[in-house]
Amino acid sequence: MKVIPAKTNNVSARINAVDEYLMRQVDGDPGFLVDPRCTQLKAAMMGGYRYKPKGDGDIDKNKHSHVAEALQYLMLHIASAGEGHQFALRREIKHVAAAGWT
């Protein structure tokens, strides 16, 4: 798996990246849709995701943080892909001969 570092780890930048996509409309309809089967993401987005900054710079998170922050990093990646960054979005495909396979 190829790992690409995030543009930033700033909490407000990540949340703003998600907000930008949630506010988009396409022909008057929502531009961001979540599949109804994504129950963990829906629960996080409906108020489950909460965090509390600690005094030492760390953040206390709850059980919804993993899925919510995965969405945040995805939105950051999509937003920064249009800023001239070169990201490998596809894996290398190796062609193999099919001879002998049925």
Question: Once rounded to an integer, what is the mean pLDDT over residues 2-6?
Answer: 82
**Neighbour count for residue 80 (Cβ, 10 Å):** 16
Q: What's phi and psi for 58, nearest 5 deg?
A: -80, 175
pLDDT tens for 5-37 read: 888 888 888 889 999 889 999 888 998 999 999
Distance from C-alpha of 90 to C-alpha of 4, rounded to nearest angstrom: 13
Contact 21, 31 (CB under 8 A): yes
**Neighbour count for residue 52 (Cβ, 10 Å):** 9
Residues 93, 95, 96, CA angle at the centre, nearest 5°? 135
Domain ranges of the chain: 1-102
pTM reported for the whole predicted model: 0.71
Percentage of the residues of the chain whose pLDDT score is greater than 70: 79
Distance from C-alpha of 12 to C-alpha of 94, rounded to nearest angstrom: 40
* 86 vs 16, residue with greater confidence: 16
Question: What integer best gives the mean pLDDT of the chain?
Answer: 82
